[in-house]
Structures are given as structure tokens and as C-alpha cells.
Structure 1
Amino acid sequence: MNYLAHFLLAEQVAQRCDLSTDGLLVGGLLGDFVKGPLRGDFPSPWETGIRLHRRIDALTDSHPLVSHCLEALPANYRRYGGIMLDVCFDHCLSMNWRDFHHQDIVTFTSQSYRSLLDHSENFPTAAKRQIRFLAQYDVLSKMDDWRNIEAMLGRIGQRVKRDNPLGHCGPELAHLLPLINQQFAALYPNLMTQLCEEFSPNAALTHPTKVGLV
């Protein structure tokens, strides 16, 4: 999942599991920038959010619905298929936003930016730069425009040192969008159910091994 889905899942899991919405939202961003064991270097709600981010990634990467999408990609795309699908899933979420959230997407993303910027002085430098970019250009409310998806994949591809297809995979991904959208529509509620089960207040009793997994 990319940022839009991470932020939405953070809010919804927080509400359903009586956790800090701001904390999980911060983790939805910092999960891409904080690596290794969590040892209390950040506030506890942030670290819970980072654990949530990591769990979302782990569940998504191993899910059969995602594997089905990866298998549909051309063989020479599959090395970078996870990146492609992450960005495509945000497009699918944006295109079907009203199926997942009661607020309009601009209101949701604006509130998310404000919450994150309020805490950004304590973020790692790269995370601080990222949220300022997302907010300045209002990136996340514009993911329904396929041209923005192609541009985002191109920017990611430029950051990858080796040759990759991210800058020119747009037409093939667009062709596969009906399949990707279908799989995402089934994946999202599946993830929500699993995450709420694992991050609920009683998770330590019902899933003691999973709580310490990430």
C-alpha cells in the first residue's frame, strides 16, 4: 500500500481499536523511513503506528490476491511489481473513495497533512521532506488521475539506481487496471478485519506471537 491507503487504514484502525489516530497516522508515514527494531526512540503511539505500517506491508506482500496481480504482470516487470501495485492500489482507492470513507477525499487528505505537519519537526529529515512535498502539491487527493500515477512511478524509478521499467510501465498497468481494482476491492476489507483483530486491546491475549511480530 502507498500513503493514501496507509493513512486511511491508520485512521480506521485507530477508531475501531481505540488507539491514537495521530499516532497511527504518523506511523503511516514514518514506516517508510524508520528501519530496524523499535526501542522507544519515538513516542509509543508513533511506534504502534510504525508497527501497523509494517504489518500492512507484510500482509499485503504475502496476500494471494496481490500474488494474482503480480502473476498478471509481464515477467520483466515483476521485480518491481510490488512498487507498481502499491501505487496502483492508491489509484483504485481514490477512484472508489466513497466506498471506503464518508468524507470527501480532499477533506480527508487535508486533515491528514495538517496532523502530520503539526508533528513534523520531530520527524527524520527524509520524512519531514516527504510530508511537506505531499502537502504542498496535494498529491494524495489527485491519485484518481492516471497521469499522476505514471508521474509518481517515474519519480520512483529515477530514485532506483539500476535500470527499471517504472518510467514506462503505465500503459501496461492501465490495461490491467480492471483486474487490479477487483483484487484491491477484495483485499482492503480483508486487511481491515485482520488488522483490527491484531491491534485490538485484547490482541496480546488472543495473538501473543503476532503482537511482537513487527
Structure 2
Amino acid sequence: MNFLAHCALARAHDDLIVGGFLGDFVKGPVPAQLPGLIGAGIQLHRRIDAFSNTQPDLRVSIERLPAQQRRLAPPFVDLLADHFLARKFEHHHGESLETFTHRVHAVLDERRDQLNGRATRFLAFMQDAQLFLQYQSLDAVEGAFLRIAMRLKRPQAVAPMMDAVAAQYDALAADFERYYPSLAAHADDWMQARSLISAEPRSC
């Protein structure tokens, strides 16, 4: 999953949101010195990613994309998930995307001293670009995917991927609506097992 989904699935606690955001910037063992539940948030991030890789409907989305670009399909599907979530955020989580975006920005600002250099730089970009709100547009997805493709020296992958989305948009959206609730339920179960949230289910 990508940044919006990780933060949303960790939204039960501010520290978990920080850990969900940090997950892509911390490799190896989770630093023991992280305060509060930030370390648990990183662990949750990793658990969500591992579980998402087992989801048949997410695999279906990957297989809808051009076979020649299959190596880049998983991160692209993660970006698409943020797009579909952004467009129906209130349906899945019971609050507006604008309200949640403001909360995430405030939480990360308050804990900026817990972020490493890469995370701090990305946070500044994310806030300046209003990235969560921009994910409602496919243009933002294309821009984010272009940055990934350029880093991997595969910029030629962008056009065929976006063409595939245009041709199969409704099917990809339907895939998301099947797999995202499973991810949310798995995240809740993980947090409940560790007494991080109550047993009452959250909206999704």
C-alpha cells in the first residue's frame, strides 16, 4: 500500500499514523528508541504490506496491467489504491479526506523530530503538494508513478500503464472495493490483538 492507505489504516492512534508514514523510510529492525506506539505503527505498516501481497483481488489488479511492465505493476497498484481510497475516503472511514489530511499533517508536524531525513523531506513535499487531496486525480497518480519509473530508469512504462487504467478503470476500482475492506479488517485484528484499539469495528 501507499501513504494514504497506510495512514488511514493506522488512524486509531496518532503514533500509529506516524509509524505508518515512517514505514517506507525505516529498513531493518524497528528502532527501539522510538517513543510511544510509533514502532508499533512501523510494524503495522509492514504487516499490511505483507498481507496485501496475499490478496487475490489485488493480484487480479496487477494482472490487468501490461505484462511487459509487470515488475512495476505492484507499486503502481499501490498508487491506484490511494486514488480509489481518496475518491471514496468518507465512505470507507467516516470522515472527509480534507479533515483526515489536516490531522495527518498536524500529527507529523508535531512529531517531526522523530522523522529521519528522507521522511522529513518527503513530508515537506507531501504537505506542499497536498498529496492526499491530489490523489483524487489520476494526474497525481501518473506524476507519482513517473517519479518511481524514473528512479528505476523505466520512464517508458508510464504511458502503457496509464492507458491500461483508462481502459479498465471500473474493473480496477471494483478490485479495490473488494480487497481494501480485507486490509482494514486485518489491520484492526492486528491492533486488537495487541490491545491498541477496542474490539469495536471501525468503518471501512
TM-score by length of 1: 0.84
Q: Residue in 2 aligned with 1:208? A: none
Instruction: State the Cα deviation string for residues 71-114 of structure 1 (Å, max 9, x = none).
Output: 22111121111111000011111122231122221111011111
Residue 153 (structure 1) aligned with residue 142 (structure 2): no
1:198 to 1:45, Cα distance in 2 relative to 1, 3 A: same
Deviation (angstroms), 1:38 = 2.0
Contact persistence 1:157–1:164 (CA under 8 A): yes
Deviation (angstroms), 1:202 = 5.5
Determine which of 103, 108, 132 is the counterpart of 2:124. Answer: 132
Residue 188 (structure 1) aligned with residue 177 (structure 2): no
Contact persistence 1:65–1:187 (CA under 8 A): yes
Instruction: State the Cα deviation string for residues 156-184 of structure 1 (Å, max 9, x = none).
Output: 22222x33544322122222221211111
Aligned AA for 2:54? S
Determine which of 152, 167, 173 is the counterpart of 2:158. Answer: 167
- Considering only aligned residues, what root-mean-square deviation do their CA atoms show, in Å? 1.6
Q: Residue in 1 aligned with 2:113? A: 121
Q: Residue in 2 aligned with 1:18? A: none
Determine which of 14, 18, 37 is the counterpart of 1:22. Answer: 14
User: What count of residue pairs does the alignment treat as equivalent?
Assistant: 194
CA distance in 2, matches of 1:38, 1:145: 34
CA distance in 1, matches of 2:194, 2:94: 28
Contact persistence 2:44–2:190 (CA under 8 A): no
CA distance in 1, matches of 2:127, 2:194: 35
CA distance in 2, matches of 1:172, 1:72: 8
Determine which of 75, 80, 83 is the counterpart of 1:83. Answer: 75
Residue 6 (structure 1) aligned with residue 6 (structure 2): yes
Deviation (angstroms), 1:39 = 4.6
Q: Residue in 2 aligned with 1:57? A: 49
Which consecutive unaligned segments of at least 5 residues does structure 1 have? 15-20, 204-214
CA distance in 2, matches of 1:166, 1:97: 28
1:102 to 1:202, Cα distance in 2 relative to 1, 3 A: closer
Q: Residue in 2 aligned with 1:69? A: 61
Determine which of 99, 104, 109 is the counterpart of 2:96. Answer: 104
CA distance in 2, matches of 1:165, 1:42: 40
Q: Residue in 1 aligned with 2:169? A: 177
TM-score by length of 2: 0.88
Matched position secondary structure for 1:32:
helix
